[in-house]
Every structure is written in C-alpha cells, then in structure tokens.
Chains A and B, each alone.
Chain A
Amino acid sequence: MNIEIKDIQKRFGDFVALHQINLAIAQGELLALLGPSGSGKTTLLRIIAGLEQPTSGSILFGGDDLVGQSLRERKIGFVFQHYALFRHMTVFENVAFGLRVKRRAERPAEAEIGKRVRRLLDLVQLGPFGGRYPSQLSGGQRQRVALARALAIGPRVLMLDEPFGALDAKVRKELRRWLRGLHDEMGLTSVFVTHDQEEALELADRVVIMNQGRIEQIGSPDYVYEHPASAFAYEFLGNVNRFECAIRNGQAVFAGGTISVPENANTGDGPAIAYVRPHDIEVFTGPTAAALAATVSYISAAGPLAKVEVAAADGRLIEIELARPMLRALALKVGSLVHIRARKARVFRRDAEPSPGETHSIRGEGRYSEPATPPAPMWHI
C-alpha cells in the first residue's frame, strides 16, 4: 500500500506542530521518522494512522483520501510506544481482540480465531505465553504481543511509535533484526518513529529527518549520513565536532588559516560552522603541517573504536574516534601531546539555516585538501 501525504498541517492552538508536510511512502518500504522530541514525528505518525486529525491536508492510501475516515476503515496496525496492551486480558485475548470486534458478517468462527491467534503467537515466538497477563511479561515480550495484536487485523500498513524505546540494549538489537525480517517476509509497508539515529540508520530503507515540524531531509541511510542536507541533520546524525569559521569568497576562514570550499562559492560571505565527524580526524604524534596541537585528556578503549578526547591550547575539547590498532601504534596516553588534522569537514552558513522550501539542497561541503591551522573548536557533542 503506497501512502501519499499532501500538505499536512497540524496546529494545537497557536502552536504549529507540523508545517505543510509532503511525503510519499512506497509499497513495501520500511520508513523511519527520525527527529528529536518535539520535532512532530509522533504527531505525523498519529495523523497517518488516524489517531489525530490534521488541521489541513490530505493522506492518500493507494489513491483513496483517508482524512475523515474512521480508524476501523483504515486498517492500520499501530504499535504504541508503551504497547497499550489490554491489561485485564490474557495475551491470547489481546491478540484475538481485533478479530472479535469485527462486524458479525466478517467475524471468523471461534475455532478460526483460535487458530489465527496461535499462529501469530508462534510468529512472535510467544506460543506458550497465551494464558499470561501483560503484567507477567518482560518488556520485549510485551512489545511482541503488541505486534502480534496489530498484525491480527491483517493491516495494510504497520506503524510503530518508538518501538524499541523502553527496551534494554541487547533486546533492542535482537528485536530490531527480527522486525526487519518480519517486515520483509510479510511484504508490509511499515513506518516507525524513533529519536535514535543509529536505530533509524540501521533498520530503515529510507530515513525522514524531522525538526520543528518540518522535514529536514529524506534519503537512504547511507546517503543522509554521508550527505546531510543541513547543519541540523549533520548534528543529529551521529557525533560531530563543531568549529566556527567564516566564508569569504568561496573560502572557509578559520582563526588560524583558510581553506578552499568551492561548493560554497555561491552561498555568499558570512559566518559559518564547519562540522567534522570524530572519525574524520587524523592524529599525529609529531609536528605536522597544518595540524593543531592538543593534549590527550581522556581515552576510552572499550569497543571496536577507541574514543579519544583532546584539549586544544585554549582548553576546548575535541572528540576523536580511532581504530584500536591505530591507537596502539600511536601509543597515546592521557597527557600525550598530539597534532590533529581534519580529513574531511563540511561547512554550513550560519545565518542561512534551512528554510522550509529547500530542505533537500545540500548547501556546501569543504574538504581540507590543504588545511592551514586547524580551526578552533567551539564545542563537541
């Protein structure tokens, strides 16, 4: 079922929760709505599902306009953030609910309901738990009951609100992989909301990055990660170091030098911010051309990538990620003097925050081909 969202706007009193949202979701796609809290992602999901009415705009499911249609007619499987299981019903009855409330003509016979529910419980690996109550299940199990319950009505679309938010890291990872498998196997169209960029990038076919009721960028996970459309997207998709600079005649001017950013030639002069990902910073032990001297202040070597924090001469902290062999080769210790240089950076005009109309334009990319003195870091995330 392909979904088309046209000019959806939502106001709560004076507050505009969503500004003119346009979005097309293809049949069989797994789409992530990603954004910080208050970005409007959950409101958008609830509007698509029919739990909330938009102030204006239309939603087409396979060509039919849904606005004004009741939830019953929409046939959307909705998985709530806190699962919203019926606490007074057993797991079996929870899953059977959608079948039992059907109109008499469409309602399956009791034996058929039992068969279908058992099949769904097996599907979500909860076969033996049919007689339990929700309060007797773990978080991951509840989540799977909520999924089975939503799937029981044979939904055209599956929608999940922060599906893994309340689970611990290990269960979350398992469930994520399992959900992806289920989505592919059943050929569903699925939309989920998350504030966790890692989750969105790992699970989704396409990611919609939202901020303050607007869509900042839409794209495949690797595209949005490699080519963030805006400063917001860059900061939201993973850790980043932020450096202040200025654009002058197509060049980024830092406190200690200048680099050429041809992509910014047309953006005009003005203050700008350069973003450098922690893994895009090179570390040298000896003095190096165009490198900034800094002192190692913290090393965390747990995990495949070692996190190193260095303090520049002015005391500002810069976060760096190094492969562990690299860390060993450099023999870094807290207090070591190092020289760092950005391998890759991206510069955005400071005053030209993305306007609603041009959410997809990439505004500029600077490569430190010949960096002068590396810029003074503003702060790190």
Chain B
Amino acid sequence: MATETKAPAASPAPATAAAIGEPAWARNLLIALGLGFIGLFLVLPLVAVFIEALSNGIGAYLAALHTPDTLAAIRLTLLVAAIAVPCNLVFGVIAAWAIAKFEFTGRSVLITFIDLPFSVSPVISGLVYVLLFGAHGWFGPWLVANNVQIIFAVPGIVLATIFVTFPFVARELIPLMQEQGTEEEEAALSLGANGWQTFWRVTLPNIKWGLLYGVLLSNARAMGEFGAVSVVSGHIRGLTNTMPLHVEILYNEYNFVGAFAVASLLALLALVTLVLKSLLEWRFGHELAVTRH
C-alpha cells in the first residue's frame, strides 16, 4: 500500500479501480494463495484418485470395476439417487413455496428445521432411522409383523439419503422466491390463469435455474453420502452397499486399485455435474441474465 503513489484521499471520486484497487503485489499474493490452496486441497487429491486408480493400467482399472459387487453398488447408488432427488425436488419446491409466498404460524420453525440435516452429524440421521424403524425401534414390531424391512435394506438407505439431501433444493429456492415476491403470480391470476397454469408458466420458469442448481447439488450429495447410509445399510455386499460404502470395504481389504477405481467413478460423477452446470450456464447465459433483471 505504501507503494501507491496517487493520493487516494485527496481526490474524492477518481476511477473506481484506483479507489478500491490493491497494490499489484497484494493482488498477486491473494491470487497465488487462492489458486495454491485450491490446487493443494482440491485438485491434487482429485488427481491422486485417478492416478492411483490407473496405477496398474487401464485393463486392471476396468477389471476392478467389472465385478458383480461393484456393479451392484453402482446400480444401488443410481437407484437411491433416482428416488431421493425427485422426492427432494418436490418437497423442496413445496417447502420453499410455502415459506416464501405465505405467512403462517410455524413458518420460522419450518425454516429452522430445513437446515437440520446440515447441522446434525449424518451418523445421527442414520441412527434416528434405526431407532424408528429398526427391529427394536418404535415401529419395529409392527414392521416385523407385517414383513416390511426398512433398516438394512434399500428403503432405509433411500430415507437416510432423502434426509441428508433435503436442504439443498429448498435452501437454493427460498431466497430466490422471496426476492421475486408474489406479484407475477398475482398478475397471472388476474389475467385468468388457474393455479396450475400459474405454477407451470410463471413460477417454475422463474425458479428453474435455482432449482437446477439445487438438484445438481442434491444429486452429488445423494450419490456421495457415507455416514447416514453407513448406519442404516448393514453393509451387505451386492445388496445394500452403495458406492461410497463399497469404496471403504475395498480399501479395508487392501484392494487399492478397486477402491480407487470406484472412487474415481464417484469423482467423475461430481465432475460431470459441475461441467453440466457450467455448460447450461454458458448455453443459457443470456436468458439467465434476462430473468435475473
């Protein structure tokens, strides 16, 4: 800052660049720190996953993936995400709609509870379901009597995943919908639209970008969730093991190539998600700018 020769205090409204600009060395240092941090903590581990997975060659990599248990884990993960994400899409839109567009008692309670899955440890979320639906849980006897299995089965995994990924869509939508208010909906109604038409033609197009972002995040988390799923899954190979759980099992068996191969698939899914988002933003950037005013 001492190297700055222009006296900023003397001239009240010079070019904004000069007013807010940092000296070159400070700017460069900040950029270097930012990039270095990202490189060290985000990029390097990601690269390491792929290097490790491919360390014995592409043949070994594919062979490691092509085992029945691994394929079952991939299928289960996709199935769970395919159920949990649409559920949270619907719940998220409903919750955000209720919070943003209506005043009702219990509104602030609802807002607080939406954040609950973010604030409690995923292990606890899993344990809660065991407590409720496990053989010795509250509904356990009834479930056993009616031959319904939730814990240590797919329904339990889906429930735990829904719980953990619930906030993403709602969190993304609430501020957006609050900012947009209800005037456009009122306008649609005054023009003769019914409630359904108003939602499809006015509300949904206005929130679609936030919704998409929420869904992508929710999807990434649904596929990657470990803690909550681990508690309710029971780790039955080929049946209740999702990809993250399978990675752990393989790793504990010293099957490093297998573990990293599955891990690389998970990482790939995350990268695809990000690329998809960037692509959409690039493709529809113009429309995005227009709808955001």
| Chain A residues within 8 Å of B, Cβ to Cβ | 49-51, 71-72, 75-78, 80, 82, 84-89, 97-98, 100-102, 133, 135-136, 149-150, 152-153
Contact = CB atoms under 8 A, between A and B. Distances in A.
Interface stretch (B42-50, B185-193, B270-278): B185-193
A220 to B, nearest CB: 29
B16 interface: no
Given A87-B206, A87-B291, A88-B206, A153 B186 contact: no
Interface in B276-293: 287, 289-291, 293
Contacts of A78: 186-187, 190
B293 A87 contact: yes
B293 A102 contact: no
B189 A71 contact: yes
B121 interface: no
Contacts of B287: 88
B183 A84 contact: yes
Given A87-B290, A87-B293, A88-B291, A97 B191 contact: yes
A80 B290 contact: no
Interface string B187-201: 111111110010001
B187 A86 contact: yes
Contacts of A88: 205-206, 287, 290-291
Contacts of B291: 87-88
Contacts of B186: 51, 78, 80, 84
A76 B189 CA distance: 10
B128 to A, nearest CB: 38
Contacts of B190: 49-51, 71, 76-78, 150
Contacts of B189: 51, 71-72
24 contacts: A51-B189, A72-B189, A78-B186, A78-B190, A80-B183, A84-B183, A84-B186, A85-B184, A86-B184, A87-B291, A88-B205, A88-B291, A97-B188, A97-B193, A98-B191, A98-B192, A100-B201, A101-B191, A101-B192, A101-B201, A102-B192, A135-B290, A149-B191, A153-B192
B191 to A, nearest CB: 4
A39 to B, nearest CB: 21
A49 B183 CA distance: 14
B176 to A, nearest CB: 12
Contacts of B193: 72, 97, 101
Interface of B: 183-184, 186-194, 197, 201-202, 205-206, 287, 289-291, 293
A153 B190 CA distance: 10
Nearest to B183: A84
Contacts of A135: 289-290, 293
A346 to B, nearest CB: 41
Contact of B191 (A50, A133, A136, A153): A153
A136 B188 contact: no
A101 B187 contact: no
Nearest to A73: B192
A88 B201 CA distance: 10
A369 B193 CA distance: 62
B194 A84 contact: no
B188 A101 contact: yes
B290 A136 contact: yes
Task: Please provide the 4 A-B residue pairs with the shortest distance between their CB atoms, ordered closest to farther.
Answer: A84-B183, A98-B191, A101-B193, A84-B187
B188 A82 contact: no
B222 to A, nearest CB: 28
Contacts of A102: 192
Nearest to A81: B183
A87 B187 contact: no
Contacts of A87: 184, 206, 290-291, 293
A153 B205 CA distance: 22
Nearest to B209: A88
A298 to B, nearest CB: 30
Q: Which residue, of A51, A72, A88, A89, has the highest number of chain B Cβ atoms within 10 A?
A: A88
Nearest to B189: A71
B197 A101 contact: yes
Given A86-B187, A101-B197, 10 more contacts: A49-B190, A77-B190, A78-B190, A85-B187, A86-B202, A87-B184, A88-B291, A89-B205, A149-B187, A153-B192
Contact of A80 (B187, B192, B197, B293): B187
Contacts of B192: 71-72, 75, 98, 101-102, 153
Nearest to A77: B190
Q: Which residue, of B188, B192, B206, has the highest number of chain A Cβ atoms within 10 A?
A: B192
A82 B186 CA distance: 12
Contacts of A77: 190
